[in-house]
Amino acid sequence: METLSELLIIALLSLSGNAIAAVLPFAFPPAVISLFLLLILLLKGVIKEEGMEVSSGFFIRYMALFFVPSGVEIIEYADLLAASWFHILAISAISLVITFLAAAKAVEVTERIISKRKAA
């Protein structure tokens, strides 16, 4: 029964994210909205982290399977990828550097906040 309630929470968050994305005046991924909603509920203590362990563990364990349809879809566009491989490679490299720098800055800020809390 615990797993069913966890999956129900995930489904409701997903539906809520879709509903919010549908009324926004700009395009925004519903999955990101759903994750923000989950984050808010976790931070507010409405949902306990331990209360989502079974279903989240399942999704993490089988995450690779969720990428199979995307991989198959990419194969259908192999000719388009072959024609613009340089652009895709350049964008990927630039994105990698930006992501790395953003993650490093986030770690710096987090460490600074933690050290200030320990000092206080």
Summarised one tens digit per residue, pLDDT across range 57-103 is 888 898 888 888 888 888 888 888 889 999 999 999 999 999 999 99
Region of residue 26 (phi > 0: left; psi between -120 and 50: alpha; otherwise: beta): beta
Alpha carbons within 13 A on the beta-carbon side of 6: 15
pLDDT of residue 88: 92
Q: What is the pLDDT of residues 45-62, one digit of tens each?
A: 898 888 788 888 888 898
pTM of the shown model: 0.59
Which of the four pLDDT bands, split at 50, 70 and 90, describes residue 1?
A: low
CA distances to 11, 16, 20, 35, 71 from 24, in Å: 20, 12, 6, 16, 30
Please return the burial class of 37, using the count of CB atoms within 10 Å of its CB with bins 0-12, 13-18 and 19+.
Answer: middle
Please calculate the CA angle 21-26-28 and round it to the nearest 5 degrees.
Answer: 45
The DSSP symbol for 24 reads: S
